[in-house]
A and B are shown apart, each in its own frame.
Chain A
């Protein structure tokens, strides 16, 4: 089975440019999460969706960040305009609910390493 798919794996851009990160969750999973990982702050939850609806976006740093989930198999995280402090590894994860025994396991993608110059 295919895991969580993220693209691109690496992105290098210049300050001020728009960046779009993409994620395809595991088929059948109804939760999707976006995380950012840095040395200074560790793994931070940015936003998560349930059945394509954003549930909690309190982790989104500021208005420059936006995320969408137009359907159950695709999500984007957009940064516009990008800044050097946005450089990090961005992970997408998905999980399925309603299973017995209960499972809170999230499955992570390989991440997108973003460098903003």
Chain B
């Protein structure tokens, strides 16, 4: 079944360490997104990519970076993790950024920064 995969499923990380969350989709979707979900705050957009080779900042981009070298992969990097980055991270994709298309979500990565 086509879809989105994320790795790792969960991770405990020491503050100050570098971490890359992986996201891969096999639906040939053009647009991809990273969200974080925190209790009481809902889903918030971190970064997005409309097509391979382009990226943009969302609502809460500070402390995070992304790259989009190809259509399928959209990794999220925390250069130096801080405890406030403890969250559940969801990757999502949609067919086309130029219209309102349904976003499909990966299973999430639960990250704890100590």
Whether both chains belong to one complex is answered with: no
Q: Interface on B for A, CB 8 Å cutoff? A: none
Please report A residues at the B interface, Cβ cutoff 8 Å: none
